[in-house]
Chains A and B, each alone.
Chain A
Amino acid sequence: MKDSRRARLILGALLTAALIILTIDHRTGDSSPLRPLRAAGAYLFGTAEQFGGGLVRPVGGFVRAILNAPAAKERIEALRAENAQLRSGLLADKLDSDRAKQLKQLLGLSGTGGYKVVPANVVARRGQPGFEDAVQIDVGTTDGVRPEMTVLNGDGLIGRVLHASATTSTVVLLSDPASAAGARLEGGKEIGVVHGVGEHGRLVQFRLLDSTAPMTRGGRIVSFGSQHGSPYVPGVPIGVIERVESTPGELTRIAYARPYADLTALDVVGVVVAAPKRDPRDAVLPPKEGAR
């Protein structure tokens, strides 16, 4: 009985301590006295994650390969069909134009947009425990990465840098429910906001600020850009609209878009350390599906 009372006392003290820490961190925001603690954690475990990353990457790849086996089989079939098609294309002397198109794609997003990018590997990911969607990448302030920088990969926008320590930094993904990015429909001036909705990055919510503007399935979204390109640089492809929600009587219209970047399986990403001098507008968007 005495022991259980002691245990209850300890529990009460610990819960109070946790609530005090929570309140201090919540109230003080950026100037939080817990910053050194967090920086120490980022330094210690960031380094551990960086070294461990190389060790566990093959394991992750193996598990992913097993999980993707059915899809891979379909892909093999598709590739076989494509192969046969290419063979016939060779005969028809069509290959030259095809290769030119592929090379143009290979030049990559950063070349087309004029972004200056620092490449990085994802070393850790958060999802459990916690409700946030964030990843740790293996570049930090020594590589020129600062908080509030845009992160992208070859397909499109990924998110923004939240904290940066010397050698690693934390990136909040587009799919995180607390993240919001300014966005623009292609070809027009209609602007909106992209929110994460959880769903593990399969969909993001696009809120169009003008409720009368036309918006259809298949419409493509690019980032709008923020002041001085921080946190988001302009012109990065975000996604393609999957469905439009009817919201009668509301001031904004809501659509759900599928991000171009596969946010569930991230590996190589790039941090934009210098924004393009001019907004590339729609030049970076990948070719429309079906038009290919």
Chain B
Amino acid sequence: MIGGVSIVLALLTQVMLVNRVPLPAGGAPDLVLLAVVGAALAKGPAAGAVLGFFAGLLVDVMPPTAHLAGQYAFVLALVGYVAGRGAGGPVTTVVLCVLMAPLLAAAVGGLISDPRVSMSTLTEQVPVSVVYTLLVSPIVIWLTTRGRHARFPT
């Protein structure tokens, strides 16, 4: 429940606020991805995949949208599963997911021959957004690990 609400809030913040601020180098952090990763880290692989799928569908229908529906449902379902399974500690998991998501999205876009995905997307746009997302990711890591520490001693 908290995961779902935080994903909707992250998406609204993303399109209403974050994307509209012209940051240096012209990218923006992907808050939705981080919300999915955070929720999946707490919930496990199955719940993470389901959460990711519905978050992706939301990304696909939330206006303004100009891409095909299903693209982000695919990407975020896979990301949610990977984040839920975990790869090493939470830090490596988050970094892996942040790197994986834009590349996957570009790959799916390439499969359906989306004109927006080209070599310059991969070399210019993706690295900037990855760096911004990684800069914000410590908040997610802190939130998930803090919950875990609190759970074990009590």
Contacts and interface: CB of A to CB of B under 8 A. Distances in A.
Interface of A: 3-4, 6-8, 10-11, 14-15, 17-26, 32, 34, 37-38, 40-42, 45-46, 48-49, 52-53, 56, 59-60, 63-64, 67, 122-132, 134-136, 162-163, 165, 168, 170-172, 176-178, 197-200, 202, 264-266
A46 B64 CA distance: 8
A279 B74 CA distance: 46
Given A7-B81, A41-B63, A42-B63, A67 B21 contact: yes
Nearest to B81: A11
Contacts of A197: 120
Interface-centre pick from A26, A131, A198 (highest chain B CB count, 10 A): A131
Contact of B69 (A15, A38, A135, A170): A38
Contact of B124 (A59, A198, A264): A198
Given A6-B46, A130-B59, A22 B15 contact: no
Contacts of B66: 126, 130, 132, 134, 162, 170, 172, 176, 178
Nearest to B13: A56
A162 to B, nearest CB: 6
B28 interface: yes
A14 B28 contact: no
Given A7-B45, A128-B27, A18 B81 contact: no
Closest 9 CB pairs of A and B: A41-B61, A22-B70, A200-B26, A21-B70, A18-B74, A7-B45, A134-B64, A124-B15, A7-B46
B18 interface: yes
Contact of A125 (B20, B27, B49, B117): B20
Contact of B109 (A34, A41, A131): A131
A6 B50 CA distance: 12
B115 interface: yes
Contacts of A41: 58, 61-63, 65
A40 B65 CA distance: 13
A86 B17 CA distance: 38
Interface string B8-34: 000010111111111110111110110
A177 B115 contact: yes
Contacts of A129: 14, 30, 32-33, 59, 72, 101, 105
A128 B28 contact: yes
A57 to B, nearest CB: 9
A226 B66 CA distance: 21
Contacts of A11: 45-46, 49, 77-78, 81
A3 B45 CA distance: 9
Nearest to A46: B63
